[in-house]
Structure 1
């Protein structure tokens, strides 16, 4: 499946090159942003191709156009997320106003590519994209508000924000191949999105500390707040606005009180759930191996 990445990259470059009505600088920014994205790989486009291949006998090259469109959508969402958080050192952070124009362009081009494809079920694919995009935007809005105050509400938020984008990528591939939507695919895709976000939570509180500095609630924090001890009280006071000794001290408290271990346990629960659904839904062993590797 490694070769799919180069195919997606080539189709991305082709799509941008064909937009000859756009300003030269706008096209140049899109190309820069795509090159930066390339360093992270094209996991979402690959999910689209994988799920298309699962339900067709012969691979149609045009699916890589759709996969490239999916990557444009995901990149647009990533850029907006970074601009709103304001704590990432990416090229699009240097010119936020211009980057928003690139985002709008990417969203428009991606929708146009899918709609102009020759797939019989392209209109159903667009409906899936619209459904999950709105769901993810809603989740991102809830995340920015930072109003959720318990684990259940938090899981619901990341299911919308992150799970929806994984589900979108998988389901577009399925519907273009078969014209059907499969509940099992949607379920394990959502679980994959949730566990990936939990991995990010752990990284953000233990390595970067960015969520702690911004007083953002996450799974390790919710676990800490359920404890009845002085460490939990200290974290609660900090999240209420009090000052603390250092971010490093908070990180130590999360580790020593088992909050990181709890988050890892929850990640493994969603991983097991996704694994069972994958085994029961897919038949291609290579596709299964790729998804299982993605969850590690």
Structure 2
């Protein structure tokens, strides 16, 4: 537990450095493209258009009772942000270790630095989904206050999982390929694009297993904000299992990271 506390303290202490590193990295990447930072807006919009064409129009996988575009916007925005933070953050320590080892900040902030670079895409997709929901007849309500619960929950879970995976990648570099495959699969079973309840052939135990799927909990939570469905304290076992899994991942990830931190150079 003390390793998890130390990790949290490092994120708070070096947060400003993480912000500056993220800004520099984003600017450096943008300078390599003719359209620059415009791609931060275009990329999520293109992703949404493709998924909406395939699943919303061609396959008619929309959720009865809810407008398809905002429903999908929010799902893809939340899942995409979490996936990018976990996958890219997991690679950040092994790819940027040489740079960070020469500076006066701990390598544990590298996943946080990476996560900040995906905030623009997150705000565009989720914010766009909420605006579309308003246009579809779902006005602002007190449920919007839940953003201050679900966004920290999203960040804490994603960074915790990223830290654990970054340690695994340092020890076993090939794991990053498996991580990509896992997230391609999870996109379809977490309700990001369509609801699994629409598929009658899916066994009931798989649907019930969503109670231990953190991605499902977060995605549905942000949809609760937009569509004013329910409060987070009404979710019962979904909330309990989410935080139990998140805290467990944080403790294991922090412990594993601290154990190998002084020997990362030996692995790389």
TM (norm. structure 2) is 0.38
Higher relative contact order (CA 8 A, sep 6+): 2
TM-score (norm 1): 0.35
Work out which of the two has the higher radius of gyration on C-alpha atoms and give 1 or 2.
Answer: 1
